[in-house]
Amino acid sequence: MEVSYKWLQEYIDLPESPEEVGKYLTGTGLEVEGIEKIDAMPGGLEGVVIGEVLTCTKHPDADKLSLTTVDAGTGEPLPIVCGAPNVAAGQKVVIALVGATLYPTDGTPFQIKKAKIRGAVSEGMICAEDEIGLGKSHAGIMVLDTDVPNGTPAATYFKLESDYRIAIGLTPNRIDAASHVGVARDLKAALNRPLRIPSVDAFTISDTSFTLDVRVDDPAACPRYTGLTISNLTVGESPDWLKQRLLAIGLTPINNVVDATNYVCHDLGQPLHAFDADKISGGQVVVQTLPEGTPFVTLDGVERKLTATDLMICDAEKPMCIAGVFGGQHSGVSAQTTRIFLESAYFSATSVRKTAQHHGLKTDASFRFERGTDPNMPVFALKRAALLIQEVAGGTVTSDITDLYPTPVEPFRVTVRYKNIDRLIGIQIDHAEIHRILEALDITADDRTEQGFTAIVPPYRVDVTREADVIEEILRIYGLDNVPLSPVLSADSLSEFPKTDPDQWHSRVSQLLAATGFYETVTLSLTRPAYHDAVRATLPGSDVTLLNPLSDELSVMRQTLLFSALETLVYNLNRRQKDLKTFEIGKTYHRREAEDGSVKYIEQTRLGLAMVGNRQSESWLQKSQPVAYHDLAMAVQGVLNLFRVRAVETQPADATLFQYGLTYVVNKKPLVHLGLVQPKIARLVDLKQPVFYADFDWNALIKLSGGNVRYEEVPRFPDVRRDLSLVLDNGVSFEQISRLAHQTERKLLRSLNVFDTYEGQNLGAGKKSYSVSFTLQDATQTLTDAVIDKTMQRLMDAFERELGAVIRK
């Protein structure tokens, strides 16, 4: 959003420079992204001043030239050679000093230089109006009737002072600041200065000779609708001041009526619309919805098919405008318009947002309406616009103000406790200062006690509905820079900080995975509700739903990184990137409802790994092979090794998410889920290839990190290997074999490994064979055959007894 520095000065005294104002705005939360100087005309008449001709004589060597001396306010008279026939001593004139660049009405810019003309020194130029771009006449120099001091900048004299365009990165919750008065309100609170609100006392109704019948059939989508008629106006070009105001904020002037409505929209934050009243059939204005598929041609000449929920402004026969979004091609103001119906309304944010999203329309009006405008502003804005239109286009108000407002919007009432203000801000702010800030923000206090008060928040502050919101308002105006650092950050306590730094672990994990071919991704925390519905049984809680979503498809906070990863894979696969390994460390969000009805919002950090396609690109050295489960398991194990996580148990992964896979459990809590994603889950994002995915509990990983490192001497005695073939029921996992083996032989067993598996008719139904190698070693002596055989016999007995194994040596 862009605002004009000089426009702001109409609302509040601002002796500060634009840069200083930008710092104040950024401090209040309206982050200034840039400040650009806007000249009222090319060059801004820089280096051009008002001066006086002191002497004037004919040039001895040129009949059409005059030798003059001028007082340009520089301290010494300047000699200037002038060729104008009307130059004379005693005149007030416009002087371009040496170094000034002039932008003539016709022709290319040129710079004034010190020169010799027919042997006479000339240090400047006395200007005609076309030479400085103020007109087309070249009959002679401009002679002014003024007594302004010599040296006065010409831009000041002609009221062509430069403006500054301030670009504000407006966050979606601060729609109250999407206007000059909204920005000025923050400056009022931050600078403790009064506002100058424009008066509409001059508004009068001449007669009621042209009154339209106005009706609202859908008050839920249009809680308030106001309007009036203006007759006998003349549509034409806007005056220079109005065009300059709009150009300063990047708008293109159209005509005086449309420019006036745009001016008020950016002035007060209230969009308006002017209809050509002679094109309104039947003397009726009806706010209603129309049947699904009704065609409507918008102002840009595009025919659009309406939905059954699109709110329309209609006359007795046809639709005229998409309410709060875009006007129609045939009902707008033109050069032939002499009567208008001027609309100022408060439309439902949900209704406008849904319509704007469906039709792909983003306008200044929809930008404001879909985020929530001020329900108390329409009548004031209507009067202000009517006065402005009468000023620039003439005409008279020929109807009473129609104001359909059956259910007024009440202010928000928020209970605030002083102790919570102190707790959340971290310091104690004087109560008088608290209430000064709130009153400056139009937030009044009711029911004040020593413990707190009830904040009465105006409806235009749609983002201030909770106690924390009110406290945030206090803090942003009080200033974060005025809050001292907490004493817990003092140097004498730094040694007590935990050694574990999540950011450092993030960097280390990123380096590890990147070194093995993974690409890090960063994705939106918003996702589609349909994704969650498909895996609802696996989610930790209820969805966190946005109050003001950008679209219905991005209306909830994600509870898992899985779908973010799948969408990233699809995006790249559609661009012929077939072999992908990605990871993301990001936040997930959910809510839990306690038995007492209270709601707790929970934010967690997860690490997600995804693999699709081949292990590596095809080369002459080796053929490509598709990614397999064990490729993912190796990457997972690499992360666990980095965090020194050893004692891991396994159990089958949730079948809702994974076609097959494992869940690694530490201390009876799941640490990571990994496996092949169910094809029906992948198809939700149109992904048809097999995808392997792992999901880590990042916070649990951090807590497990930092384990002690144990160093051992390299064994002096050799290890030995023995192999067994175990025929087992299909339900027995290798995890059970490993656990039982280590429980049976704690001293000599160093490791065991599966090097072959087999299933077939020879083993019988429901049976499988594991070929397992056992590595035995004694750190104190060389193992003898007797010790080895005894150890292996104990292991075989345990496998037969506990697991029902049949040993095949």
Phi and psi based region of residue 675 (left: phi greater than 0; alpha: psi -120 to 50; beta: remaining)? left
Does residue 593 carry a pLDDT above 90?
no
> Is pLDDT larger for residue 171 or for residue 486?
171
Average pLDDT score over residue span 722-731: 89
**Which CATH architecture fits 412-478?**
2-Layer Sandwich (3.30)
Instruction: Return left, alpha or beta for 661; rule: phi > 0 is left, psi -120 to 50 is alpha, else beta.
Output: left
Per cent of the chain over pLDDT 70 is 98
CB burial readout 607-624, b (16+ within 10 A) else e: bbbbbbbbeeeeeeeeee
Query: Looking at residue 326, what is its pLDDT?
Result: 94
Residue 105: pLDDT band by 50, 70, 90 thresholds?
A: confident
> Are the CB atoms for 633 and 640 separated by under 8 Å?
no
Each residue of 628-676: pLDDT tens digit?
Answer: 999 999 999 999 999 988 778 888 999 999 999 999 999 889 999 999 9
Model pLDDT, residue 793: 92
User: Using CA atoms, how far apart are residues 112 and 96, in angstroms rounded to an integer?
Assistant: 7
CATH code for residues 42-157: 2.40.50.140
For the chain, give the mean pLDDT. 91
Check pLDDT > 90 for residue 549.
Answer: no
Confidence of residue 809 (pLDDT cuts 50, 70, 90): low
pLDDT tens profile 550-591: 887 889 999 999 999 999 999 999 988 889 999 999 999 999
Digit-coded pLDDT (tens) for 120-173: 999 999 999 999 988 888 889 999 999 999 999 998 898 887 889 999 999 988
The per-residue pLDDT for 693 is: 97
CA distances from 56 to 74, 124, 495, 511 (A): 19, 15, 83, 80
61 is in an annotated binding site: no
Its pTM stands at: 0.60
pLDDT for res 494: 43
Q: Which of 160, 99, 93 is nearest to 129 (CA)?
A: 93
Q: Which of 279-283, 469-473, 631-635, 801-805 has the lowest mean pLDDT?
A: 801-805
Distance CA 483, CA 208 (A): 58
| Domains 213-404 and 720-808 are alike in CATH topology | no
Annotated ligand binding at 240? The verdict is no
Architecture per CATH, domain 720-808, reads as: 2-Layer Sandwich (3.30)
Q: Among 716, 769, 777, which Cα is nearest to 751's?
A: 777
Res 492 pLDDT > 50 = no
Q: Which fold is adopted by the domain 213-404?
A: Phenylalanyl-tRNA Synthetase; Chain B, domain 3 (3.50.40)
Average pLDDT value for residue range 2-26:
94
Which CA distances in Å does 627 have to 51, 364, 438, 632, 676?
83, 50, 60, 8, 10
Cβ–Cβ under 8 Å, residues 89 and 54: yes
d(CA 729, CA 237): 90
Task: Provide φ and ψ at 395, rounded to 5°.
Answer: 95, 170
Instruction: Name the superfamily (CATH) of residues 502-704.
Output: Bira Bifunctional Protein; Domain 2 (3.30.930.10)
160 or 353, higher pLDDT = 353
Euclidean distance between the first and the last CA atom of the chain, given in angstroms as a whole number: 79
Q: What is the mean pLDDT of residues 94-105?
A: 93
pLDDT for 487 equals 53
Instruction: Tell whether residue 463 is among the known ligand binding residues.
Output: yes
Quote the pLDDT of residue 181: 96
Sequence-separated (6 or more) residues with CB below 8 Å from residue 785? none
Query: Which tokens hold the place of 543?
Result: 């969805």
Percent of the chain predicted with pLDDT > 90: 75
Q: Is the pLDDT of residue 490 over 50?
A: no
**Which pLDDT score is estimated for 435?**
95
Residue 481 marked ligand-binding: no
Q: What is the DSSP string of 795-806?
A: HHHHHHHHH--E
The confidence band for 500, taking pLDDT boundaries of 50, 70 and 90, is low
Tell me the CA distances in angstroms from 84 to 81, 87, 92, 107, 669, one per residue in order. Answer: 10, 6, 14, 19, 93
Q: Identify each DSSP E strand in 492-647 by its residue range.
A: 519-520, 526-527, 556-557, 580-593, 599-612
Q: How do 78-82 and 66-71 pair as beta strands?
A: antiparallel
| pLDDT, tens digit, 9 for 90 and up, residues 57-89 | 999 888 889 999 999 999 899 999 999 999 999
What pLDDT, in 10s, does the model give residues 451-478?
999 999 999 999 999 999 999 999 999 9
Instruction: Name the CATH topology of 2-39+162-191.
Output: Phenylalanyl-tRNA Synthetase; Chain B, domain 1 (3.30.56)
Domain ranges of the chain: 2-39+162-191, 42-157, 213-404, 412-478, 502-704, 720-808
